Amino acid sequence: MNKKIGMILIGVVILVIAFTVVLKNGFKNTTKITKQTTSSEVKNNSDFLLNGFPVNKVPLYKQNKISSSKIFVNTDPKTTSTFGEKNFAYYNVVFNSDASQEEFLDYYKGIFDSQITEEYENQEMVRGNIGEYKVSVSHYGDGTGYLQVYLPDYKSETIEQYFVSFPKILKENSSVVEHEKSYGLLNQKGGETEYTKYFTVIDSGDQNKDGKDDVDEFLILKTEYEKEYKEKLKYSYEEKTGIMKWQDGEFEIILTLSKNHGRVYLMIRKPLSK
């Protein structure tokens, strides 16, 4: 009898030891996975800010998530920047902030070298100068901050580096003129790289003076683009909106023929490279 009891006690002790080892190892593995996930999330969030953005001079105040960061170059003679300039380049960053609207805008007022004041104060936007940059800051009370940082030279080599990899999707056409291009990183769908351009369509006008346009440039462009891209994967065209879509390898392309704007808009997206 005593022998049986001794055997039972030994078995219980072995089970307790085994159970303790399993729990300990399981806890270690869980902790390790949690730490890896947290580290990955922080890294991925910082990856959505463009390299070259002057964050040391224009910080992202109380940022907890970057939604997108882009750089734009505009040479449209009919377009002026928010500072009244033509031919300009600027960073545009959208991010979530833990600061209230008032605190957010006051912070940037405090780091401006000089503030640009308006005749009528805007409760949602402030503008000023920080070093060589002109900066526009907006917050609409919804927890999202918007920064536009204008560069001193829209032709600098620093800017051109962003566009070296711009996909050669559209062939050059004598009836359109490129007036804006952008490159950006989007914090969506696991991360995307975005390229955009818009082109102004040259209107040949009424050369024979009969009161009508001699040429329908948009019809010609539509015909050319259909011929070029209709065999592409996932091709579609919607007549009402003038939106043409297709896929080319890893690129998803949207081309919009906007007769009302007199422009052709190109947007290209692909998964963000890891």
pLDDT digits (tens, 9 = 90+) for 139-192: 999 999 999 999 999 999 889 999 999 998 888 788 899 999 999 999 999 999
Distance CA 149, CA 129 (A): 9
Q: Which of 34-43, 186-195, 228-237, 254-263 has the lowest mean pLDDT?
A: 34-43
22 has a pLDDT exceeding 70:
no
Closest CA to 99 of 137, 69, 144: 144
Alpha-carbon gap, residue 76 to 90, rounded angstroms: 14
This prediction's pTM: 0.80
- Where do the structural domains in the chain lie, given as residue ranges? 1-46, 50-153, 165-274
Q: Report the pLDDT averaged over residues 240-265.
A: 96
Tokens of 1: 């009898």
> Looking at per-residue confidence, does 118 or 150 come out higher?
150
Give the class (CATH, top level) of 50-153.
alpha beta
pLDDT at 21: 43
230 touches 244 (CB < 8 A): no
Helix, strand, coil percentages, rounded to 5, for the chain: 30, 35, 40
pLDDT at 15 over 80: no
Higher-scoring residue by pLDDT: 237, 21: 237
Confidence band for 214, pLDDT divided at 50, 70 and 90: low
DSSP state of 89: E
pLDDT of residue 16: 41
- Please state the rounded mean pLDDT for residues 10-19: 44
